[in-house]
Amino acid sequence: MDDGFNEFLHVPARLSIVALLAPTSWTEFGFLRDAIPTSDSALSKHLSSLAAKGYVEVRKDKHVGGRRTLVRLTPDGRQQFRRHAAALERIVATARTPQVGELDS
C-alpha cells in the first residue's frame, strides 16, 4: 500500500468530514451533519475519534439563540488529509496507466 494511505481517514464518513473541512477555516456542526448526511450522534462519534487523533479541533461558542459547535482541521489533520488524498491520486493514476504486457482489447 502507498505510504501516504491512511486507513483511519479512509473510513467513508471520516474522509467526507475532512474533505469538507479542508477548504474551510471553521465549519458548523450542522453543515457537516447535513452535507454527509448523518445523525448528530454518529457525527459526534466520528469527530471525537478525529479529535483524539489530533486531526480536528472542536469548539463550542455561544451566539444569539444558543450555542453552536464549530469544527476545523488541525495542521496535522490537514497534512494527513493531503497525504491521503495524494496517495489515492497515485493509486488511481496507476490504475489508469497501461501496464507492461497488458493486452489491448
Each residue's pLDDT tens digit in the chain (105 positions)?
Answer: 778 999 999 999 999 999 999 999 999 999 999 999 999 999 999 999 999 999 999 999 988 888 999 999 999 999 999 999 999 999 999 888 877 666 655
Query: For residues 85 and 77, what is the distance between their CA atoms, to the nearest angstrom?
Result: 12
- Stated pTM of the model: 0.86
The predicted structure's pLDDT at residue 104: 59
Run of H or E including 53: none
Q: What is the pLDDT of residue 103?
A: 62
pLDDT (0 to 100) of residue 105: 55
On whether the CB atoms of residues 17 and 24 are closer than 8 A, the answer is no
R_g of the chain computed on alpha carbons: 17
* The predicted structure's pLDDT at residue 87: 95
